Amino acid sequence: MTPTLGLFLASSNAGKLREYRSLVAGDRVAVELLPEFAQISPFEEAAPTFAENAAGKAEHYSRGNDKVVLADDSGIVVPALGGAPGVHSARYAGPSATDADRVRKLLHATALLEGDERKAKFVCVVAVARRGRVFIVASDSVEGTLAKEPRGSGGFGYDPIFFLPQIGMTYAEASQEEKNRLSHRGKAFRRALALLEDPVSMAWTE
């Protein structure tokens, strides 16, 4: 069955692509990486909010082509660190850092925190654009705490240290289905999908 809508993810992150594909309901929507993403001049995510970065990225990567482009900005917010890493989550340990490097830095920064000081929030904003125009922006978040050491082998990014009390495990320990149900990205993307699958909202993709 041919999908009714093809979305092109403005990212080179294979883990993020896998997660979005697992979130797609049935055969109505297909998600692929944006072709030649690495050859497009990069978008500088310099805005102070997740929403501005997500919308700016979707607008930037949808110019010069006819594709429906999906972009997001997400990150982990630790109130005891003044909201850090926040919008800098992906660059928290430097531009060439690995996921493990970023996790180590955050664990070091929070090593002396206890109890409620270890509260954290994952935030995701999803934006969809075509031909340089943003049509959908959806956001959501999930509350949790920071584990004191990595746990689990699933997911990516900060997943091994983001602990969800309601299921008693980290994102990286949860099954993909459980993570999809609870995660910030899953909830934000489902909001965006509801708008994309609405006949009125879909009119602009024709």
Instruction: Evaluate if residue 148 carries a pLDDT over 60.
Output: yes
**What is the extent of the structural domain holding 119?**
5-205
Instruction: Evaluate if residue 176 carries a pLDDT over 60.
Output: yes
**Distance (Å) of CA 129 to CA 70, 125, 205:** 7, 13, 9
Beta-carbon contacts of 165 under 8 Å, excluding residues fewer than 6 positions away, are: 144, 145
Residue 203's pLDDT is 55
pLDDT in tens, 24-79: 866 678 899 998 888 899 999 899 999 999 999 999 999 988 999 999 999 999 99
Residue 142's pLDDT is 97
Taking a C-beta distance cutoff of 8 angstroms, is the pair 86, 48 a contact? no
Residue 64's pLDDT is 84
Residue 197: pLDDT band with limits 50, 70, 90: confident
Residue 28's pLDDT is 76
Which one is catalytic: 27, 66, 72, 73?
Answer: 73
What is the bridge-based pairing of β-strands 133-146 and 162-164? antiparallel
pLDDT in tens, 97-145: 999 999 999 999 999 999 999 999 999 999 999 999 999 999 999 999 9
SS3 state at 100: helix
Tokens 């809508």, located at residue: 5
Q: Rounded to two decimals, what is the model's pTM? A: 0.89
Q: How far apart are CA 191 and CA 179, in angstroms?
A: 16
Catalytic (active site) residue 159: no
- Write the CATH number for 37: 3.90.950.10
Greater model confidence, 93 or 3: 93
Residue 5: pLDDT band with limits 50, 70, 90: confident
Among 51, 108, 102, CA closest to 81: 108
Q: What percent of the chain has pLDDT over 90?
A: 71
Instruction: Evaluate if residue 201 carries a pLDDT over 70.
Output: no
Residue 206's pLDDT is 56
Number of domains, the chain? 1
